[in-house]
Amino acid sequence: MIVRDAVMGDAAEISIFLEELASLGKRNLPSDADYVRTHYIGHADKIQCAVAEDEDGTLLGLQILKMASEGNAYGVDVGWGIIGTHVRPSAVRRGVGKALFAATRKAAVDAGLSRIDATIGATNLEGVSYYDAIGFETYKTLDTRICKCFTVT
Ligand SMILES: CC(C)(COP(=O)(O)OP(=O)(O)OC[C@H]1O[C@@H](n2cnc3c(N)ncnc32)[C@H](O)[C@@H]1OP(=O)(O)O)[C@@H](O)C(=O)NCCC(=O)NCCS
């Protein structure tokens, strides 16, 4: 597995596994390729958008790190990072998420971030366990969401 920056040409394949996650009830946001291009790979607040790729070129997962800007949808303090992680359902528990975060953490250091927010559905046990495992800690709970924070070191 390698981890690299996502390029626009990855959008269609990323969209396929986002649709899979949606059909499993693990995603509520749009999953089409245009959304991937505008909200992830080409977003103005993007710090890094990394993909993990198998030896045969199959994309296994995506992790986005954005800068929290004024009026961001998650209500995160301006200047924090905001992270999102999406792993192809057939590739979970193989260390894809961990490998993606090694690259994202480096990008956060390079960008001078001090904190990263991960906002997760309160019933999303795999998401909560994943962020716990990579060093995030709960700092806020909302009605249906848990907000976790990583202190960048
Ligand atoms: C959550 C998610 C990103 C984890 O990705 P992953 O590639 O499977 O994670 P890794 O294999 O790197 O696992 C790292 C650690 O996280 C924890 N973890 C991951 N999935 C878990 C699960 N289903 N149950 C319990 N712990 C889990 C474990 O501690 C794991 O280490 P271990 O396998 O050595 O025990 C992936 O399941 C996913 O994309 N889910 C759907 C979308 C989502 O919920 N995203 C996160 C919220 S935005």
Mean pLDDT of successive 10-residue stretches along the chain, which has 153 residues: 98 98 95 98 97 97 97 91 98 98 98 97 96 98 94 94
Task: Give me the helices (H) in the chain, please.
Answer: 11-23, 33-35, 96-111, 125-133
pLDDT of residue 73: 83
- 92 close to ligand 1 (CB < 6 Angstrom): yes
- Measured between alpha carbons, how far apart are the two ends of the chain, in Å? 25
* Non-local CB neighbours of 152 within 8 Å, separated by 6+ positions: 81, 105, 108, 109, 113, 114, 115, 116
| Ligand 1 atom at minimum distance from 93 CA | 11
Mention the CATH class of domain 2-151: alpha beta
- CB-ligand 1 contact for 96 (6 Å cutoff): yes
Q: Whose CA is nearest to atom 32 of ligand 1?
A: 93
Q: Give the residue, by CA position, lying nearest to ligand 1 atom 9.
A: 97
Token pair of 78 as six digits = 């301006």
**Residue 74's pLDDT is what?**
84
Spatial neighbors of 153 by CB under 8 A, at least 6 apart, are: none
The answer to whether 110 and 12 have CB atoms below 8 angstroms apart is no
Q: Which of 29, 101, 126, 144 to mutate to test the pocket of ligand 1 (most atoms within 8 A of CB)?
A: 126
Q: How far, in Å, are 15, 19, 71, 101, 107 from residue 12 at the CA level?
A: 5, 11, 29, 22, 24
Q: Does residue 130 have its Cβ closer than 6 Å to ligand 1?
A: yes
